[in-house]
Structure 1
Amino acid sequence: MAQDAVKKTGKRTQAVSAKKQAILAAALTTFSQYGIHGTRLEQVAELAGVSKTNLLYYYPSKDALYVAVMRNILDIWLAPLRAFREDFTPLVAIREYIRLKLEVSRDYPEASRLFCLEMLQGAPLLMAELTGDLKGLVAEKSAIIEGWVEAGKLAVVDPHHLIFMIWAATQHYADFATQVEAVTGKTLQDEAFFQQTVDNVQRMIIEGIRVR
């Protein structure tokens, strides 16, 4: 009997997790299309295949749902920076960071665009996360870059501006995907174009910070 109860609890937990993930995925799609103000919870519930009442059981308001989506995005967005490690040589670490950031742009374009939209609006619902986890992580990785510069392993460059440049160069391919496709006729889903993008962005940034 105890084992049956455990199995039932496990299945219920899995079902709840699946339902919450479906809601978050639907919310990401609608928020990235219409923004927080243009999105209705009924739209999200319909896309997720749940009732509005059920949605509100897990996320009691549109703001709460939006913040949950944005926190998920921040986790995805920061994963490449968390992987940035001092035990790699500087150029290898930065080259790998660029590749991982472009993979995020390729694999999570909706997330990147919604994050961009939130930044353009002044991040009213995400400022605590930006000034907390994001700021702390950037400070930690900036210290690594600064150490490389001081050791003569990188050209003299301000760590923050290097990170900002990588963000701008890599996220462009998600945030302005329509423009990229209009100009080139290709997207990052095209394997050859993705690799060409990685090679070119790496080369331009790496050559700017290589010790002469």
Structure 2
Amino acid sequence: MKTEASSSGETGARAQTRIQAANRETILQAALPIFAAYGFRGSTIDQIAQRAGMSKPNLLYYFRRKEDIYEAVLQRTLTQWLSPLRTLERDGDPETELRAYIEDKLRMSFEQPEASRLFANEILNGAPVLRAFLQTELRVLVEAKAAVIRHWIDTGRLAPVDPVHLIFVIWATTQHYADFAVQIDAVLGDRSKSPDFLAETTQAVLGIILGGVRHSADAASERAIANAPEG
């Protein structure tokens, strides 16, 4: 039988766990834009603690080293960024599945650009933290989703393209709007500040990518005409 004291203790422990989880989340949210802006080497514990609104000793209670914060932020970012890819379903309609994936990736690039920049910086620096993950879990995931795309091609529902390179094209195109936002703003000016820019971008990207992989009699006929010898 639980005593009043033990019940009170369990309630207090649960409350403490919730507080700890909330504080860890606060730290990770504070660290993301700092790591994205300054990189791992240029960021400091003091910067993160100040942005999180807590003392340095309090922050170090949850994460003993800057490396621990960086790894946690990267893992959290990867979980979020790879979630849309995991949803591609073999039995789904190819265009519907790819459309949803591209839309999710673009929305994340617009709404969470720091996450994409953090990942890009890690890759550009040789992926010292993520290399093992990239060579194992990410490779397995990409191979699995490439098999889904290959099934769509084999069943005549998608144009014959290289599945892995299609995934790479989607990554490169969608993440461009986060990683190269400064360049986009410089080229487009006020147009990139419009509240309709995400919708405009989504429509354009979907048209280009889906138009390139859509399998139809008309598309096949157009390709045959384009590739026919002259004369």
User: What's the TM-score once normalised by structure 1's chain length?
Assistant: 0.94
Superimposed CA distance per residue, residues 96-151 of structure 1 (whole angstroms, 9 cap, x where no aligned partner): 11101001101211111111111111101111221222111111100000111111
Match of 2:207 in 1: 203
Report if aligned partners of 1:45, 1:55 keep a CA contact under 8 Å in 2.
yes
Match of 1:24 in 2: 28
Counterpart residue identity of residue 156, structure 1: P
RMSD, aligned α-carbons: 1.4
Report if aligned partners of 1:180, 1:186 keep a CA contact under 8 Å in 2.
no
Alignment of 1:115 with 2:119, yes or no, is: yes
SS of equivalent to 2:196: helix
Counterpart residue identity of residue 82, structure 2: L
Alignment of 1:39-188 (within 5 A): 39-184=43-188, 185-187=190-192
> What runs of 5+ residues in structure 2 fail to find an aligned partner?
221-231
SS of equivalent to 2:160: coil
Larger radius of gyration: 2
In the alignment, the residues of structure 1 paired with residue 54 and residue 132 of structure 2 have an alpha-carbon distance, to the nearest angstrom, of: 30
Superimposed CA distance per residue, residues 29-56 of structure 1 (whole angstroms, 9 cap, x where no aligned partner): 2111110000111111111122222222
In the alignment, the residues of structure 1 paired with residue 191 and residue 81 of structure 2 have an alpha-carbon distance, to the nearest angstrom, of: 23
Out of 185, 189, 196, the position equivalent to 1:192 is 196
Report if aligned partners of 1:91, 1:206 keep a CA contact under 8 Å in 2.
yes
* Cα 1:151–1:136 shift into 2, 3 Å: same
Superimposed CA distance per residue, residues 9-66 of structure 1 (whole angstroms, 9 cap, x where no aligned partner): 2221111011101111111121111100001111111111222222222222111111
**Percentage identity across aligned positions?**
44
In the alignment, the residues of structure 2 paired with residue 85 and residue 201 of structure 1 have an alpha-carbon distance, to the nearest angstrom, of: 21
> What runs of 5+ residues in structure 1 fail to find an aligned partner?
none
In the alignment, the residues of structure 2 paired with residue 186 and residue 49 of structure 1 have an alpha-carbon distance, to the nearest angstrom, of: 36
Question: How much has 1:87 moved relative to structure 2?
Answer: 2.7
User: What's the TM-score once normalised by structure 2's chain length?
Assistant: 0.87
Give the aligned length.
211
Report if aligned partners of 2:94, 2:158 keep a CA contact under 8 Å in 1.
yes
In the alignment, the residues of structure 2 paired with residue 83 and residue 46 of structure 1 have an alpha-carbon distance, to the nearest angstrom, of: 37
In the alignment, the residues of structure 2 paired with residue 186 and residue 61 of structure 1 have an alpha-carbon distance, to the nearest angstrom, of: 42
SS of equivalent to 2:35: helix
Report if aligned partners of 2:90, 2:151 keep a CA contact under 8 Å in 1.
no
In the alignment, the residues of structure 1 paired with residue 74 and residue 208 of structure 2 have an alpha-carbon distance, to the nearest angstrom, of: 31
